[in-house]
Structure formats: structure tokens, C-alpha cells
Amino acid sequence: MQLPVDVKALMDEAHHGEEARACELAVSVYLDPTAPADVTAYVRSAFSSDRPNARITIAYLDDDYVIHPSDDMAVIVAGASDEVGPAARQMRDAGVPVMVVTTLPVCVDDIARAADAPIPEGDIVAPENPLFAHERSTGDVLSDVCAGAAGAVCAGAQAFSDVVPVLGKVAEAAGALKEAAQRTQEQQAYERVRAAEARVAAAEAEPLAFDEAARDQVAERMGAWVVAACRSKKLAFAYAFSFVRRPLARDAVTTTSLQNAAVGLVPLIPGADLPLMTLNQAKMVMQIAAAYGQPLGRERIPEVAAIVANGFGCRALARKAVALVPGIGWVARPSIAYAGTAAVGCAIIEYFEGGGNLTGLAHVVEESARAGAAAMDKVKGAVASA
């Protein structure tokens, strides 16, 4: 069967996965003697690995600790020691990304600043402070969706504005919409922080509780940090440490969704978007599968390509969107491509999170695409009856 996808490109992706599986990793975990015992035990467990190519060094953060400049990353399990900030700065100066895990984030930050060795905010990983916890409102969700869709349209329009001049106006309008959504998000965040600050003075929340929910939050945040800080070896880290898998899979979904939004924006040649979207989607499937320890051998690439080509409905959804509003309906294409790719990617993540394997993957993809098509049919019916 002739598949609308570059099989060689998928072969290259599979080869990349094989290289990641064999990649050498070096991580040093430094334990602050004043750190809570439960946090120390959790981080030590999270960074244990049975992979022979992963070297994990455990040391106490005392007068004799040694920095290894060849490390891919370092972790400090922090308590109230005044050594944390200076040690983290020395590691960064040596070229080693360092993550600080703690249930005393404000305390650790204050002590590090007092030692004139502030820790970058993004490098401190901690559970959510209950004083700042909130339920996401409908306004939060809508502004997120608005910003994401507008950003996809804006990026795609800018990319092709030299070829199709009218897209310059589309990019300007989408950019303004994105800025408005972001301002809404910032205002909501500001109001939440102000409300939380009123309670902080009357409460001593630290050290934060380290129950099951807190451990899940820390695992998610540690994984996201690794994906962002160690991008060239992020798949190797997912093979070695399970907490990296979900954040890495989500990163693949977000990246692919944005790529397909850009592809879906400009139908310069009828049908030209199908091979590009399908290739991106197939790569995403392979990346998610690999993140969950199920790398795809080359012999299974045709199977994966067929699953994607037959199952994904993003292109069909985009065609229906264009038909909704003749003349300008094509503007909806990037949003549909973004949302469709993201929805199927998230379904695959949940499938693998539940212990699924490659055998049932085709069913998951087909069900997700079918649900998307049904939703678009309802929208089309509502527009027709309006």
C-alpha cells in the first residue's frame, strides 16, 4: 500500500530512538543533610535506574562534595542549609544544569538570596503551596484555548506571509487576539497572587506536606524541568527515569500540534498538506511510544504509518471547517489542525499511561479521530440551522 508519508523520515526517527536508548547519562544527586527525610528518599528513588548506561552519583552536600563538570545534570535535595544557593551557582558555572527539589521553596530562595547566590525561579521544584492553590475557572480555560489557537494562527501566518501577502493581516489580527488572551491570563494570575499574599502572612505553610498528591506534582515538575533543560538527551532520560515520560510525551504533542497548525494554514497546493501532517503525526506517535519505553523497530514503521494515515482525521476536519463559512472558513484550518493533533496525542498518552501497548494503538487513534469528526458534524449542523 502506498502511504502518504515519508517512510525514510520515519526510519531516521527510529534510528534517533535507538541512539537515545544507548546514550550515556550522568547525574549527580546532592543531599542536603537538613532536607526532610521523605523528600530525600523520594528523589533518591526517582533517580534510580536499572539502565547500565545511566551513571547516578549520590553525595551529601557538605564540605567534601565534588562537582562533576561532565554531568548531564545535577539535583540538590534542599533543606535549610546555606550551602544550597552557592553550590547550585558553582554547578551552573561549571556548565551543569541543576534542579533544586524541596518542600521549603520560599525558605530555600530566601537563604540563597541572602548568600548572594539566587537560584533561578524555574530551577526550584516543589509541591504546590496550598495558599496559592486554586480551581481553574472557565475563564482560565477559555483564555488558554484562545491564546493557543491564536498563537498557532499567528505563527503560521507569519511563516507564509511572504508567499501570500494577505496573511500578514491575518497574523496581525491573530497576534492582537493572542496578546489580549495573555493579558487576561496575567490579570487572573495577578489577582490570585494578591489574594494568596493576604493569607501568607497569617500562615506558615512550609515545609509543605509531601503526601501522594505532592509527590505526583513534584514528579511532573521534575520531568518538565528535565525535558526543558536537557533537550538533546530528553528521550534518553525518559528511558532511564519514568517521571520524565509524561512531560516528554506532552512536549511532543505540543510541538507537533503547532507544526500541523502552520501546515494547515496555507493550502498552496491541493492535497500538499496531507503528507506533511501525516509525517508529523506519525513522528509524534513514535515519540510518545518511545517515551513510554516502547520504541518502534523499523519493521513496525509501515504499520505505524498506516495507523496514522487511516486514523487521523485532522485534514478531514479542516475541510469541514472550510465548508462552514465559504470564503473565509480556511482561517479555521490551523486551529482545527492544532486541536485535532493535540486531542489524539493526549488520547495516546492516556492509553500508554494506563499500561497500553502498540497492539491496541490503532483503536485509540481511530476512536479519537471519529470523536473529532462527530463533533465537527454537530458544529456544521448548528451553523446550517442558524
| Residue range 354-365, pLDDT digits in tens | 888 777 887 887
b/e sequence 27-47, b meaning 16+ C-beta within 10 Å: bbbbbbeebbeebbebbeebb
Instruction: Give me the residues paired with residue 99 across strands.
Output: 75
* Domain spans, the chain: 25-125, 128-198, 241-386
What pLDDT shows up at residue 180? Answer: 57
Q: Which residue has the cell 513496525?
A: 300
385: three-class secondary structure by DSSP: helix
21-30, 63-72, 264-273: least confidently modelled range: 264-273
Cell representation of residue 193: 497572587
263 pLDDT exceeds 80?
no
Alpha-carbon distance of 231 to 225, in angstroms, equals 10
Cell representation of residue 106: 520560599
At 140, the pLDDT band (50, 70, 90 cuts) reads very low
CATH code of the domain occupying 25-125: 3.40.50.2300
Alpha helices in the chain (DSSP H): 7-22, 37-46, 84-93, 105-114, 138-160, 167-200, 212-229, 234-240, 245-265, 273-291, 301-311, 314-324, 333-353, 361-385
> 55 φ, ψ to 5°?
-100, 120
Structure confidence by residue, pLDDT tens digits, 14-64: 767 778 888 999 999 999 999 999 999 999 999 999 899 999 999 999 888
